[in-house]
Chain A
Amino acid sequence: MNRLTAALCATAVALALTGTRLLAHDVVVDQVIDMNIAVRGPQLVVHLHVPATALADANLPRLPDRTIDPSRARPLLAGIAADVARNLDLQQGENRFAAPTATARVGDDQKSVDVELVYTGGVSGSVSARLNAFRAVEGPARTDLHYSTATGSEQSLTVTGPPVRVQLDPSTLDVARQFIGRGVRAVFDSGDELLFLLCLLLPLRQPRLATALFAVIAAGQLGAMIIVASQSPMAPAAVTAAGMAAASVVVIAGLQNVVEARPARVMALAALFGVLSGVSLGSTVVASAPFGGSHTWLATISFVVVALICELWLGAVGWGTRLWLDQRRTPARTLSILGSVLIAHEAVHRVVDRGHVLAQSGAFDGDRVIIWLTLVWAGVMLCLALVNRLSADADASGSSLGWGAARSR
């Protein structure tokens, strides 16, 4: 058994031992709250269509078929309208609006409540609201908001997760500040970019090659972000699948370090990672751009530029650290293999975690996605091995003819 085979076997055993088991999950469905806010002269009118499942604390009386009992629910409706208004906490600048006229009625489908809030006293400044403040029982709450200003401009956005205050129709400065923060968080919170850059820089590389690798990643990301941003929003399952594939690329990058792959193949993998990571970042831009109101372009550019600068910074720090370790005479090969196994281990967890998310979304069967991903990578490796074998045969026959053959790593 040669050293390469031994290293591959050791890596495979390490990854197999550190892997996790797949679990099945029930499909979770969002409880969607439709909300419209419109400025009508001196009034601000808010309409909400709230599914009964998102009013868990209201204890709405139900009929045997689980629909709302309108007659018994009637005495509770005023309280529900007041609670919705209180939790929406609509503000103008730093000041709260005066209490609105709040009314509610059971929806026509008897599975929801329609709430209307009318705020009087004029709208003169920037309006903000606390969105998605609902406790749902049959799945996470999601608020789809449509805002129409007095000038006729429109803003549509979606909020999931815990309640959050959102500024409607924000100013240029607010948008720039908000999206610089979002760009930084997208890179640092995801962690895929950090793992991949570390993996690339574990083997000591020439500055020119390191720069070229970063440029390839950045180009892939930029291209994918432009394409994703110019299309209609991607399905969340497709974005998760891209994230899962990106994490699997990190695993392969770890394996490439172990087998000391040729720079051209590392470059190809970097390009693939750039594209997959760009899909995730691009979908984040698309999903968050509506929070920029009418300044969508500023929001997008701020996000993209800051995300790329953050990655460049991560790469520079990683490369500097690797150089420093080399100057301390750290055993390069041991460091590369150990570091790669650790990173690949983390990446395997990410692949499995995202598989769970996909299984929960119900768009795909989680088991099958992971099997397909594994088969694709096995196929790629098989093809490469075949190409290597054929080129080695060609080299051998070339040598026998006196052409000479040089195989560069």
Chain B
Amino acid sequence: MTTVVQSAGGSNKGGRERVGVLAVAGAVVMLVVAYLALSAGNTDSRRGLLPYQTLASTLPESDQQQFKALRQKLLDAEAERSRVSRWPSAESLGLPGAGYRWTRFDRGVVTNYFGQPTDASQPAWLLEIQEPEPGTAADPAPNDEEHHRLADGTTLHVYVWTHRFGGQLRAEFVAAPQNTGWAEVFAEVPNPVFAIKR
């Protein structure tokens, strides 16, 4: 005599398990998305930054606008540098900020555009551009806020700095801004692999 044993609801059980797995996966994804959404803009803004660095989003509204305008002008300066093989003068570049006096300073491979406010309580701004030393190996870092490339492939290190009470400063070449009260401003926390530590 042959006995047929029927498995009780095999396909049903498999279906339930699939639904369960999908539900759990959905819950996990939903919670991760919720966490990321809630964390956006609320994370510790200093995480991943050096003591002299800051994020533009933590600056006053007017400074954020100035920072954006400066980054745009930086691209214009780079285009001009690629075209005529030298950095444009501060006057011809038309750097932003009403009530600012811009001066260009060069020392070796480093170019500074120094913006000094006429109002002593306003911040000073510094656009620092560093070309590679002749004969040094090319920096392999990809383009980001600190690494830009000219049309000929030359990698530049570029930095935007700000200093409170800019009217108290002397307009001159700034050799080590990080040691003299300047804050380097970023739009985003830099990638730690390619970040330039000074």
Contacts and interface: CB of A to CB of B under 8 A. Distances in A.
B194 interface: no
A79 B167 contact: yes
Interface centre among B45, B165, B168 (most CB of A within 10 A): B165
Nearest to B24: A320
A317 B58 contact: no
A59 interface: yes
Given A79-B121, A82-B121, A181-B42, A87 B165 contact: no
Interface stretch (B7-15, B27-35, B81-89, B139-147): B27-35
B31 A79 contact: no
A313 interface: yes
A79 B120 contact: yes
A407 to B, nearest CB: 38
A188 interface: yes
Nearest to A56: B181
Interface stretch (A159-167, A210-218, A244-252, A357-365): A159-167
Contacts of B35: 184, 188
A326 interface: no
A330 B28 CA distance: 24
A354 to B, nearest CB: 18
Nearest to B28: A317
B121 A86 contact: yes
Contacts of A224: none
Interface of B: 24, 27-28, 31, 34-35, 38-39, 42, 44-46, 54, 58-62, 119-122, 163-165, 167-168, 181
A83 B54 contact: no
Contacts of B27: 313
Nearest to B122: A86
Contact of B165 (A83, A162, A181, A184): A83
A89 B46 contact: no
Given A162-B46, A181-B42, A184-B38, A79 B60 contact: no
Interface string A26-67: 000000000000000000000000000000111100000000
A205 interface: no
Interface centre among A78, A79, A91, A96 (most CB of B within 10 A): A79
Contact of A185 (B39, B46, B58): B39
A130 B60 contact: yes
Contacts of A57: 163-165, 181
Contacts of B42: 181, 185
B165 A79 contact: yes
B38 A180 contact: yes
Contacts of B122: 86
A68 interface: no
A117 interface: no
Given A180-B38, A184-B38, A87 B120 contact: no
Contacts of A349: none
A80 interface: yes
A310 B163 CA distance: 42
Contacts of A81: 121
A80 B120 CA distance: 9
Nearest to A320: B24
A181 B39 contact: yes
Nearest to B166: A57
Contacts of B181: 56-57, 135
B61 A96 contact: yes
B121 A162 contact: no
A289 to B, nearest CB: 17
A406 B61 CA distance: 72
Interface in A176-228: 177, 180-181, 184-185, 188
B34 A184 contact: yes
A59 B168 contact: yes
A162 B60 CA distance: 13
Nearest to B55: A162
Contact of A59 (B54, B59, B61, B165): B165
B36 to A, nearest CB: 10
Given A57-B163, A82-B121, A87-B60, 19 more contacts: A56-B181, A57-B164, A57-B181, A59-B165, A59-B168, A78-B121, A79-B120, A79-B121, A83-B121, A83-B165, A87-B164, A133-B60, A161-B46, A162-B44, A164-B58, A181-B39, A184-B38, A313-B27, A320-B24
B65 to A, nearest CB: 11
A385 B134 CA distance: 71
